[in-house]
Copies of this chain bind each other. A is one copy, B any other.
Amino acid sequence: MAQAPLSPHQIMIRKLQSIFTLTSEEEQALLSLPIQTKDLEANQDIARVGDQPNQCCLIVEGFTCVHKISAEGKRQIIALHVPGDIPDLQSLHLHVLDINITSITRCKLGFIKHSDMHQLCEQYPRLTAAFWRETLVHASIFREWLLNIGRREAYARIAHLLCEILLRLKAVGLTEEKTFHMPMTQAEMADATGMTPVHVNRVYQALRADGLISTEKSQMTLPDWNKIQQAGEFDPLYLHIKKQATS
């Protein structure tokens, strides 16, 4: 049941449960957190370098990305965010944003005031640990991306990223078997992998020819998990997901 439209609180809890075990009391507390939702078109800025937000942004539906622009004007996508993620959770303790956050697709966002977060964490110290852990898992993903971009060749790099997206969507119940909704353009994949769009296109073709991916509209299928996992040198340890269903 991919794309089931969950409420902001439900998706947040599902995501946290995938990396941390919440008690029902803690779930209750999360459910009472005030969240204000907002819909957004694709390719809209959510926040920008230099901003000093007083709220966090929960992805409820859609994809967003965090990116930086070099002085030469080149864009690097630093992170992808799927439903359940909070791209600017760091802003709780780093008060000036050093990144841009932009929607990739149409999105439903949930905004949570810093003050409400701080109050909740004060009251439930285990939730502090849960959110801290959430930021640490994202840091772990940054580390794996560094290896991916710094030391893997293009073919493995793309394969690796596709494996990651599948597992992260699976963790929040947004996949259908080996198929998932993949809204990123090849140009966006290029920005995420430190490549050019042209080269991404050529690697996609190679992956298709080798039977590692098949695409139809914006549906991406990874028909042979073992093969693509091997091609991408993919080991899901770094995602620190509790229950690992990689079937």
Contact = CB atoms under 8 A, between A and B. Distances in A.
Contacts of A149: 146, 149-150, 194
Nearest to A66: B143
Contacts of A135: 132, 135-136, 139
A236 B100 CA distance: 16
A29 interface: no
Number of copies: 2
**Chain A contact surface mostly:** helix
Interface string A118-149: 00001001001100110111111011111101
Interface stretch (A37-45, A89-97, A179-187, A199-207): A89-97
Interface stretch (A7-15, A72-80, A162-170, A212-220): A72-80
Say which size band chain A's interface belongs to.
35 or more
Contacts of A68: 143-144, 146-147
B237 A150 contact: no
B75 A136 contact: no
Given A142-B146, A145-B146, A146-B149, 15 more contacts: A50-B237, A68-B144, A70-B147, A72-B151, A72-B233, A74-B152, A90-B136, A94-B136, A96-B237, A96-B240, A98-B237, A128-B128, A132-B132, A138-B139, A149-B149
19 contacts: A68-B144, A70-B147, A72-B152, A75-B151, A76-B146, A76-B150, A76-B151, A78-B146, A90-B136, A93-B133, A94-B137, A94-B140, A98-B240, A135-B139, A139-B139, A139-B142, A142-B143, A150-B193, A150-B194
